[in-house]
Structure 1
């Protein structure tokens, strides 16, 4: 017979294994997490190479970058001016061409650990930087508080200041956008971190992190001598590299702590529910791994890993010290966890600590995985990840990530650079999911190039031979993109034919696309008939599945003319810094059909409009997502206005303007269209 302690030990192992399975379902298996990370990494790598030196770089950070897709987690985005560089001392200026680079000197001599002043050494052409300049001791510095105010709504209008970010909500998804500065050098104040990395992370990870420097975000230390001028050193890039280097069990422990924070710790009382944040949870995991507190991280040890981190957090709250992982002298509790709030928080944590691992029963997300084992103590838990998720689940995930794969290549020079980067990927070893992501990016680049090419020829020359060559190239690229892209990519060919006045050819492509979109196994907007999908394409490669059974939204770069009828909407979005318009595929299908038949058969044109009207008026989220209803109503209004049905068009525009979420930032175009209708009816 087993001894009582052995039974307890085995029971805890079973509960850990059950929670491992549950967290894989909620947070993601190692393969799912790898897919999500690779999608964003490849997008960022291509876009960084494509962005001109005087452009703006975008990088996802936070939970999404790390590979989480937890319900309710926000999206964090960092933006910086590509031709602005922060240096740590004047000797580093020799690495830059000051004729085209704005240099900013970090001066941390009077700032608390982890913070610095930024002295502007050379003039900036950006209004945001110019307006934030202040003079101190006969030198020009960039004020973080002023910069934060002027850039708060630079990405999404109506954002509010939250820490160093502009914060808001888009259709229920919270976001944080930080306009910051980049530094190619590792800060001296974090040099001790390099010496500390004996057991974790590996030396090549350390070298990669140090080589890529840091960022400076617009917030000062509340107790610093220059709070309004100071900037915080951000290690966002280093942090996601560290998360990447975790084992999957360590990553799931981090996910468990995030859930525990949200569902247990932050539910204790209003006085303490804002004191701890996800960043504190991440920091505890980093320290626990590096200090080798738990020698063996595995599915059966998940609870042990959680408990190690929880005890470390309890110790920090007791002492009122949470040491930053890179700069330990920076106490992240200094202005938050102190006094009576600290005492209250410690007592709450200690009560949970006294309950032991039973405190996890208070988490709604993971309670069932514990109870399941408690009621079935002899249960054998399989932790094989391949048994946790089905083939369809993986497919839905990878094809859903395609909405993030958008490369802003707005000139032929940029598209050429993008193709060169893709060539480098193709020549190197790639995983299956990297191959399909590269395919998607390549299709997007070829589509952009096709429309850019014909647009440039129209603008710069009227020579028939050049027009003929450009047209042949464009058609070839669009057909190539459709061969290894999604089912919906065929509509770019139809758009091109419509643009070049080949209406019958466009309608022929539309009819073929209609047939493919009508297949009962089609996967679109994460909706799919699993059984039919598996019967049709189960076991096939992702490339084959994408070509035969997957549709996505039509993505239009706001700087490229695809359909002249949508130019006002693209211009409106562009003015509001929206890089793309997203149009539901079935809306675009009926829109193109209507436009082409207008030139050939008005009866069939009206039939297409009727189908579009039924779709927009009655769809319940199956074909048009809530966040895409503004552009869908807008397109319906455009069609109605073309036919002369001004009252119906007015109603559609009003629906687009008033009742829908303004994700596409097309309100300016909508208001102008409404004004045109009002003026025309007044003159009748």
Structure 2
């Protein structure tokens, strides 16, 4: 197959640079991608340090972990038990205490490359035992049974998709959750990969990958006799390290391949649009980089890099072989791309190939960047990211939105103390500016949780001195958290004052919060007045911006503490649905607390707060309340209306809450409130 004669394109270098710039706008600059990874890395590092021996470890994987933020990109999360380990041979058992660790042996002697059986060696938990089968007088963990058992653990009502539990949130965000097993050892079947890494990745990266082992996900080889018992070896963590080792041109080439698959290849025919997947694109770029097919990956030859990858993919489809990057004997095309399907796909790809780089004009995302250069081939394109690609505000939105994701990382006083010690250690270490502000945010969160835990510990002791000291410490920690954190963190102070019957103090905090939330440069989620924000805070540190201009939703950690009595049924309902956090819009929580406090001081002002809450809920256009939080804000409005005796309005609000997407998993509490209200009143 002849190489594409790229020389025929006048201004090819400018076209490459133009597409490179366009993909920076679509996928992110190198600074953006670094920021995304760093924020995830420090949170991940904190979680790993705090995890106890018998808890689940959670790891974001896939495109989100790699640094992509493509529209419609799904969220992939892997889970594994910290006290369960897979070994590759029996000699490795000496590294573990079998008294508190479940040992599992990888037995790949009868499995195709890339797959293995998992033999249970030591006693284990009930969930694993119920997924075990006996073969040849040995006990093995069945992947199909384990997959069924764990499918909906992370998110209820998920459906099995490959090795994962899958679904979507409010019809918008798709997710895959995989419960798997981990090994601290590199599989023998992937040893050739180590010897193959002469130029990429660097030896330091290779060593880091190998020492971190691999995972095993619950799916077998569909053509093997042991499909329902086998497990697939997963290199998800290694793949993340490899993607992180790419330069930005290589990373954007990977992104372009993903866009090309979605917007061009998959639009050719319904018969073939499910044959290739993003993982094939990742495998293609890995091999292209490692085989050194392009000496220099840079903006000036960006499209040449894409073309190298496309030719390699076309060759693989022609041969029907896509070698796994870590275990080449594992042919990723074996199950789908063969026979007539392979022929049809090859013919479609070859037609695109014959068009040359003009085939990229079929991509809706990058077409305009090519056309601009075709009309003006000698136009200068600036590829200096620091000069052109990203504004200060874009960085801020990226960072602060990322910091708002995730749940609380501590669940008891011991973890709180351990976390504070960890933060003390990291303060003196070398951290990037991004990691510093992330650490600041984590500190505020830990102090808030510790304050409420401390209050709950000593409330019922009956010892006044202990209660007094605990209260002083809690108040001090909450004030510190408000100084470290963002505007909405002040609401935790108000909740604490309300919880401890100090209504005027709570109202004072609420009034201060109102003033800050009314600032014209407020950043709430991704909404911000760009001009006013830059005018007020341009050039300031992230720390200052977070304290003065940023607000997030209020998060109530269901497993740690009950914050205010009026929401206990909702937290209990979420716990029954295995949902860790209630997400409440800050503006809703502000009016809710104001209503609750004024009920004890001034009923007229209480009604005014309820009126404001009602206007917010009924006339929200998405500016102040996120669509995923509709279940909780209708619920809170109903609670307030019921407390004032307006039962008809309360019933309507509760019913509206039930019709929303159940993001907070509070429907059990809503149904009980409706039932109790109907039973206790003559209203029907």
For Structure 1 versus Structure 2, the TM-score category normalised by the shorter chain is over 0.9
Pairing of 1:88-487 with structure 2 (within 5 A): 88-127=88-127, 129-171=128-170, 172-386=172-386, 387-459=388-460, 461-487=461-487
Using the alignment, how far apart are the partners of 2:372 and 2:331 within structure 1? 40
Contact map agreement 2:257 2:281 (CA 8 A) in 1: yes
Aligned-CA RMSD value: 1.4
Contact map agreement 1:86 1:181 (CA 8 A) in 2: yes
Q: CA deviation at 1:458?
A: 2.0
Using the alignment, how far apart are the partners of 1:51 and 1:462 within structure 2? 33
Q: CA deviation at 1:6?
A: 11
Pairing of 1:46-57 with structure 2 (within 5 A): 46-57=46-57
Partner of 1:65: 65
Q: Give the SS at the match of 1:546.
A: helix
Contact map agreement 2:408 2:557 (CA 8 A) in 1: no
Using the alignment, how far apart are the partners of 1:483 and 1:393 within structure 2? 24
Contact map agreement 1:50 1:415 (CA 8 A) in 2: no
Q: CA deviation at 1:417?
A: 1.7
Aligned length: 677
Q: Give the SS at the match of 2:438.
A: helix
Using the alignment, how far apart are the partners of 2:425 and 2:360 within structure 1? 47
Using the alignment, how far apart are the partners of 1:95 and 1:678 within structure 2? 61
- CA deviation vs aligned residue, 1:620-677 (integer Å, no higher than 9, x gap): 100111111111111111111111211111111111111x111111111111111111
Deviates more, 1:103-112 or 1:153-162: 153-162
Using the alignment, how far apart are the partners of 2:203 and 2:427 within structure 1? 28
* Gap change, CA 1:604 and 1:126, over 3 Å in 2: farther
Using the alignment, how far apart are the partners of 1:6 and 1:310 within structure 2? 14
Contact map agreement 2:55 2:83 (CA 8 A) in 1: yes
Using the alignment, how far apart are the partners of 1:562 and 1:384 within structure 2? 49
Using the alignment, how far apart are the partners of 2:114 and 2:462 within structure 1? 59
Q: CA deviation at 1:462?
A: 2.2
Q: CA deviation at 1:217?
A: 0.3
Using the alignment, how far apart are the partners of 1:405 and 1:396 within structure 2? 16
- CA deviation vs aligned residue, 1:530-565 (integer Å, no higher than 9, x gap): 111111101101111101111111111112111111
**Runs of 4+ deviating beyond 6 Å:** none
Using the alignment, how far apart are the partners of 2:261 and 2:343 within structure 1? 18
Q: Give the SS at the match of 2:476.
A: helix
Q: TM-score, normalization: structure 2?
A: 0.97
Partner of 2:489: 489
Partner of 1:657: 658
Q: CA deviation at 1:126?
A: 3.9
* Gap change, CA 1:250 and 1:140, over 3 Å in 2: same
Q: CA deviation at 1:421?
A: 2.4
Using the alignment, how far apart are the partners of 1:100 and 1:671 within structure 2? 42
User: 1:572 and 2:573 equivalent?
Assistant: yes
Contact map agreement 1:405 1:440 (CA 8 A) in 2: no
Using the alignment, how far apart are the partners of 1:9 and 1:246 within structure 2? 27
Q: Give the SS at the match of 1:404.
A: coil
Pairing of 1:543-554 with structure 2 (within 5 A): 543-554=543-554
Using the alignment, how far apart are the partners of 1:448 and 1:347 within structure 2? 60
Using the alignment, how far apart are the partners of 2:245 and 2:6 within structure 1? 33
Q: Give the SS at the match of 2:662.
A: coil
Contact map agreement 1:103 1:121 (CA 8 A) in 2: yes
Contact map agreement 1:408 1:579 (CA 8 A) in 2: no
Partner of 1:637: 638
Q: CA deviation at 1:124?
A: 2.0
Using the alignment, how far apart are the partners of 2:375 and 2:578 within structure 1? 55
* Gap change, CA 1:349 and 1:471, over 3 Å in 2: same
What 5-or-longer segments of structure 1 have no aligned partner? Answer: none
Contact map agreement 1:183 1:215 (CA 8 A) in 2: yes
Q: Give the SS at the match of 1:556.
A: strand
Contact map agreement 2:111 2:117 (CA 8 A) in 1: yes
Contact map agreement 1:79 1:177 (CA 8 A) in 2: yes
Contact map agreement 2:15 2:377 (CA 8 A) in 1: no
Q: TM-score, normalization: structure 1?
A: 0.97
* Gap change, CA 1:421 and 1:274, over 3 Å in 2: same
Q: Give the SS at the match of 2:110.
A: coil
Deviates more, 1:342-351 or 1:635-644: 635-644
What 5-or-longer segments of structure 2 have no aligned partner? Answer: none
Contact map agreement 1:18 1:370 (CA 8 A) in 2: yes
Q: Give the SS at the match of 1:571.
A: helix
Using the alignment, how far apart are the partners of 2:47 and 2:645 within structure 1? 43
Using the alignment, how far apart are the partners of 1:327 and 1:458 within structure 2? 58
Q: Give the SS at the match of 2:431.
A: coil
Using the alignment, how far apart are the partners of 1:576 and 1:125 within structure 2? 21
Contact map agreement 2:6 2:12 (CA 8 A) in 1: no
User: 1:582 and 2:622 equivalent?
Assistant: no
Partner of 2:622: 621
* Gap change, CA 1:355 and 1:365, over 3 Å in 2: same
Q: CA deviation at 1:464?
A: 1.3
* Gap change, CA 1:630 and 1:473, over 3 Å in 2: same
Contact map agreement 2:10 2:377 (CA 8 A) in 1: no
Pairing of 1:486-635 with structure 2 (within 5 A): 486-559=486-559, 560-635=561-636
Q: Give the SS at the match of 1:349.
A: helix
Using the alignment, how far apart are the partners of 1:48 and 1:678 within structure 2? 48
Using the alignment, how far apart are the partners of 1:482 and 1:179 within structure 2? 37
Q: Give the SS at the match of 1:379.
A: coil
Using the alignment, how far apart are the partners of 2:599 and 2:56 within structure 1? 41
Q: CA deviation at 1:575?
A: 1.8
Q: CA deviation at 1:405?
A: 4.4
- CA deviation vs aligned residue, 1:463-496 (integer Å, no higher than 9, x gap): 1111111111111111111112101111111111
Using the alignment, how far apart are the partners of 1:58 and 1:7 within structure 2? 49
Q: CA deviation at 1:406?
A: 3.1
* Gap change, CA 1:6 and 1:77, over 3 Å in 2: closer
